[in-house]
């Protein structure tokens, strides 16, 4: 075994891993007091809203894959909210928009995370709602040590908050100033919100009735009422540089709920890999595995230049298809069978040569060639523009700290229940705080296009094609794996690389996390202002100068990242004998795994 920054944790009782050490510790607390993986995950999710408010919030979104003990196939929990009834292309264009802002009220879809956590708890958890919410209430009320990145994000937007988003200034700058790094930071309005919700919930009798009462308070009660009033009255600055009103209403919230659905999967050697549907970018990882299956990865050094080149060129092809063909299957007939077929993958594999491609190359599917041409045209029209206030989602290898991202968690309990969840949205820098609630709205609508006829065209009730993308996999011998990462368009790049190194490199969970990562921004970004960087390849310097030089010689436009800045992977696994394993990235120095 090579040197790792931390040990791969091994135990039998339970493991919890996430992008913040406090959340991981809270997850373990839930397991210790008799809760299962789903209780732990929900408690972790609510704590992450508090301690990483620049990366996620209660009014954001949350897809998850979860597997019940004794079952072989996981389920998808879709906590991705939909476009409001008033979110039409005609309306957005009538207020002067050619693309949806990355921040501001018109970037908002129905908040999805809360309902997803509630139905998970209702159907599969065991602890009370109070047990699950109390850690988040504690850290919101008593305070938590504010991350330097949170402090820097608030400081960078301090004048904007004061001038344009006064409710955000009141929440994030108590006393009128940004909080200093590592000082105790409190969000009393958020604590009050959860206490009121608990009081209303606990007026009902029985665990399930209390969870249903909490759902009602959130989506049809005082929280929905506060959001409805705020959006109806506010006219606030957005990332396109104008003050505009939003369209989200209380009725939009009352008419939506989180759902379960079957995952998509492909086999890869003796593994099966599961992802969410084409409303996420998850199938791009499955497409990549189809292309790489039989491509000879077993003969390659998983840290070498040939591996990096082959995987990068594969991801360019998969993500080109993402831009052309992915969207909400409830509104568009996605060619899913073709995209995940071996025959189609073979045609895509044949396009990979020894030189880096600088072209956008979505596949040509019968009857849908116009979608491929439209995707190419969109990419050509965009270019590498600068994002507006609060826009975008970073690669985790950048110096500016104002842009939103995501969190991730994985939990496995002693019974074999497991979950991989990727909460996001509701970023403090991308949407104003709803007065009195202590939480900002989300900005996931920026995934949509204002051009009609596309799988990703804006339409009421449609899910945005999210970047959020948790993963699960299982080997033929029964080993099961839950893993994921924040990182926007990079999520299914870093996860692919991670999985391939586990499979082909013989690495343990932590070795594969610590290995040098890379990604490309060659394709159209999912985030405002939808930049394109043909041929781009970012790689960590630990890959070695020889690898970097080789990649440049192949035509890749290599951007060497600062050391230890690319990727925020976490993972957990269960072996056939019941041993549990967990790992977390050392990058950004805040993710941790806990277990025993």
State the CB neighbour count (10 A cutoff) for residue 452.
10
pLDDT score of 294 = 84
Cα(527)–Cα(101) distance, integer angstroms? 9
The answer to whether position 425 is within a domain reads: yes
Please tell me whether residues 49 and 129 are part of one structural domain.
yes
- Under 8 Å between Cβ of 406 and 421: no
Q: Which two tokens stand for residue 127?
A: 């602890």
Last residue of one domain, picked from the residues 416, 447, 478: 447
The answer to whether position 397 is within a domain reads: no
Residues of the chain falling short of pLDDT 50: 394-403
Please tell me whether residues 359 and 211 are part of one structural domain.
no
The answer to whether position 234 is within a domain reads: yes
Q: Which two tokens stand for residue 220?
A: 């049809």
Please tell me whether residues 441 and 350 are part of one structural domain.
no
Helices (H), 448-490: none
pLDDT score of 390 = 60
CATH number of 471's domain: 1.10.246.130
Q: Which two tokens stand for residue 167?
A: 């409710």
Please tell me whether residues 378 and 476 are part of one structural domain.
yes
The residue assigned the tokens 């344009």 is: 164
Please tell me whether residues 499 and 425 are part of one structural domain.
no
For 426-456, the DSSP string reads --TTTSPEETTTTEE---GGGGSBSSTTSTT
Cα(79)–Cα(111) distance, integer angstroms? 8
Please tell me whether residues 384 and 424 are part of one structural domain.
no
pLDDT averaged over every residue in the chain: 95
Q: Cα torsion for 25, 28, 32, 35, to the nearest 10°? A: 130
Q: Which two tokens stand for residue 56?
A: 């996620």
DSSP state of 500: H
State the CB neighbour count (10 A cutoff) for residue 204.
15
The answer to whether position 329 is within a domain reads: yes
pLDDT score of 396 = 37
pLDDT score of 392 = 53
Cα(534)–Cα(530) distance, integer angstroms? 13
Contacts of 234 (CB under 8 A, 6+ apart): 105, 245, 246, 432
The answer to whether position 454 is within a domain reads: no
Cα(1)–Cα(576) distance, integer angstroms? 21
The answer to whether position 117 is within a domain reads: yes
Q: Which two tokens stand for residue 443?
A: 């900005």
The answer to whether position 455 is within a domain reads: no
The residue assigned the tokens 């791009």 is: 284
Cα(475)–Cα(89) distance, integer angstroms? 45
Q: Which two tokens stand for residue 214?
A: 């909490």
User: How many domains is the chain partitioned into structurally?
Assistant: 2
N-term to C-term CA, the chain? 21
The answer to whether position 3 is within a domain reads: no
Please tell me whether residues 421 and 558 are part of one structural domain.
no
pLDDT score of 537 = 98
Beta bridge partners of 266: 273
List the domain range (segments joined by +) for residue 479. Answer: 265-388+467-585
Please tell me whether residues 57 and 184 are part of one structural domain.
yes
pLDDT score of 372 = 97
DSSP state of 174: G
Please tell me whether residues 107 and 43 are part of one structural domain.
yes
Please tell me whether residues 277 and 179 are part of one structural domain.
no
List phi, psi (to 5°) of 257.
-150, 155
pLDDT score of 387 = 54
Please tell me whether residues 384 and 418 are part of one structural domain.
no
Q: How far is CA 161 from CA 104, 236, 430, 445, in A?
A: 12, 11, 11, 22
Please tell me whether residues 278 and 323 are part of one structural domain.
yes
């Amino acid at each position: 075994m090579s040197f790792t920054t931390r040990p791969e944790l091994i135990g039998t009782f339970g493991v919890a891993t996430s992008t913040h050490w406090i959340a991981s510790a809270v997850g373990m607390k839930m397991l210790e007091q008799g809760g299962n993986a789903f209780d732990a995950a929900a408690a972790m999710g609510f704590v992450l809203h508090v301690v990483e408010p620049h990366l996620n919030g209660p009014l954001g979104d949350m897809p998850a894959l979860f597997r019940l003990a004794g079952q072989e196939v996981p389920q998808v929990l879709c906590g991705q909210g939909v476009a409001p009834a008033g979110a039409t292309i005609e309306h957005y264009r009538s207020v002067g928009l050619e693309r949806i802002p990355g921040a501001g009220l018109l970037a908002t879809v129905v908040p999805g995370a809360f309902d997803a956590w509630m139905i998970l708890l209702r159907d599969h958890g065991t602890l009370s709602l109070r047990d699950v919410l109390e850690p988040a209430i504690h850290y919101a009320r008593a305070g938590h040590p504010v991350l330097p990145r949170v402090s820097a994000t608030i400081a960078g937007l301090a004048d904007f908050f004061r001038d344009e988003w006064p409710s955000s200034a009141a929440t994030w700058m108590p006393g009128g100033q940004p909080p200093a790094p590592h000082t105790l930071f409190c969000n009393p309005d958020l604590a009050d919100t959860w206490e009121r919700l608990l009081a209303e919930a606990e007026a009902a009798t029985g665990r399930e009735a209390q969870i249903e009462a909490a759902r009602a308070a959130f989506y049809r009660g005082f929280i929905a009422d506060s959001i409805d009033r705020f959006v109806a009255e506010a006219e606030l600055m957005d990332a396109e540089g104008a003050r505009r009103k939003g369209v989200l209403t209380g009725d939009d919230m009352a008419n939506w709920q989180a759902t379960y659905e079957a995952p998509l999967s492909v086999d890869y050697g003796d593994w099966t890999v599961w992802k969410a549907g084409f409303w996420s970018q998850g199938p791009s990882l499955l497409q990549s595995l189809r292309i790489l299956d039989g491509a000879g990865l077993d003969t390659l050094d998983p840290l070498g230049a040939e591996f990096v080149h082959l995987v990068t060129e594969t991801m360019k092809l998969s993500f080109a298809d993402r831009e052309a063909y992915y969207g909400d299957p409830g509104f568009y007939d996605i060619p899913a069978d073709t995209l995940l077929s071996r025959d189609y993958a073979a045609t895509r594999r044949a396009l990979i040569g020894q030189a880096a491609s600088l072209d956008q190359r979505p596949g040509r599917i019968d009857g849908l060639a116009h979608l491929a041409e439209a995707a190419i045209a969109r990419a050509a029209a965009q270019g590498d523009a600068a994002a507006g206030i609060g826009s975008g989602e970073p690669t985790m290898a950048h110096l500016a700290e104002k842009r939103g991202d995501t969190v991730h968690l994985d939990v496995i309990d002693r019974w074999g229940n497991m979950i991989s969840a990727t909460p996001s949205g509701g970023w403090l820098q991308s949407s104003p705080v709803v007065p009195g609630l202590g939480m900002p709205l989300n900005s996931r609508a920026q995934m949509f296009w204002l051009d009609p006829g596309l799988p990703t065209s804006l339409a009421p009730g449609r899910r945005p094609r999210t970047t959020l993308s948790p993963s699960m996999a299982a080997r033929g011998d029964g080993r099961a794996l839950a893993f994921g990462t924040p990182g926007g368009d990079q999520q299914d790049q870093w996860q692919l690389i991670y999985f391939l190194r586990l499979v082909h490199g013989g690495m343990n969970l932590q070795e594969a996390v610590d290995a040098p990562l890379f990604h490309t921004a060659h394709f159209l970004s999912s985030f405002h202002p939808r930049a394109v960087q043909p041929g781009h390849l970012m790689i960590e310097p630990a890959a070695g100068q020889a690898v970097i030089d080789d990649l440049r010689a192949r035509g890749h436009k290599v951007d060497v990242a600062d050391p230890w800045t690319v990727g925020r992977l976490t993972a957990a696994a269960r072996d056939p004998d019941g041993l549990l394993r967990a790992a977390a990235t050392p990058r950004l120095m805040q993710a941790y795994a806990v277990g025993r």
